[in-house]
Copies of this chain bind each other. A is one copy, B any other.
């Protein structure tokens, strides 16, 4: 940042959510985080200029794509200016002075609880309690209003709300990563060169159309890393395709996208950005 004002970054969820942790990882600790209750509010905060960036979860390595966020990408005039990934490490968080043996009821979001089945299976005396948010469960725990002795959330949530990490990494599957996209109102030139371009396109509804579309990349040895399809409203069993294209958007990868654009019904570039974890687009 060149100016003194911190970058305002909207996230979905409470402070201490995994999105908050990912935002700090990608953009540094000096950002101003704007918690939003829903994904629609998250996108709108950048459209409306309340935040300079939104960090949007788009895919989890266990649960798959967050498809509704692909739809929101298509329906809003925003640009992808970066991406980051976060390993999801679930922590058992108690109140200060508590210990593992005291815990009988543990609150968290149902998805987090479902990721920690082994923890509960090994402790039949411990009950799982659903909450609306992982970090929110830690906040409620600290207020003491609930009849629970612990919550499952990120280490950051423990730090922010004054909880104690009783166990770390209690998720069943260590290969649990969430990929996030960083969105802005305008395309932003990052310090690192862009190496990935996300596009959305609609093909003519004829045999072999997708094969031919992928062929413009194969012919140039341009690598693709994610293909997603979503229904086309008003056209049952027809689809929009979302594709992540690797390579320099000003060289071969960009040429391939241009060629695809000439042969399909519609194509929009959602953004070009450096692949992977980065501090770009700030």
- Which A residues are closer than 8 A to B by beta carbons? 59-65, 67, 173, 175, 177, 179, 207-208, 210-212, 214-215, 217-218, 221, 223-231, 233-237
Q: Give the residues in chain B near A235, CB-CB below 8 Å.
A: 61, 175
Contact of A61 among B63, B211, B229, B236 (CB under 8 A): B236
Q: Are B61 and A231 in contact (CB under 8 A)?
A: yes
Contact of A231 among B64, B212, B225, B231 (CB under 8 A): B64
A218 CA to B223 CA in the complex, in Å? 20
Q: Give the residues in chain B near A210, CB-CB below 8 Å.
A: 214, 224, 227
Contact of A175 among B64, B212, B214, B234 (CB under 8 A): B234
- Whole-angstrom distance between the Cβ of A22 and the nearest chain B Cβ: 15
Contact of A214 among B61, B64, B211, B237 (CB under 8 A): B211
10 closest residue pairs by CB, A with B: A61-B236, A211-B214, A211-B218, A207-B223, A208-B218, A64-B231, A177-B236, A175-B234, A175-B236, A64-B230
Q: Give the residues in chain B near A65, CB-CB below 8 Å.
A: 67
- Whole-angstrom distance between the Cβ of A103 and the nearest chain B Cβ: 28
> Across the two chains, which residue of chain B brings its CB closest to A176?
B236
Q: Give the residues in chain B near A217, CB-CB below 8 Å.
A: 211
A253 CA to B94 CA in the complex, in Å? 58
- Whole-angstrom distance between the Cβ of A199 and the nearest chain B Cβ: 16
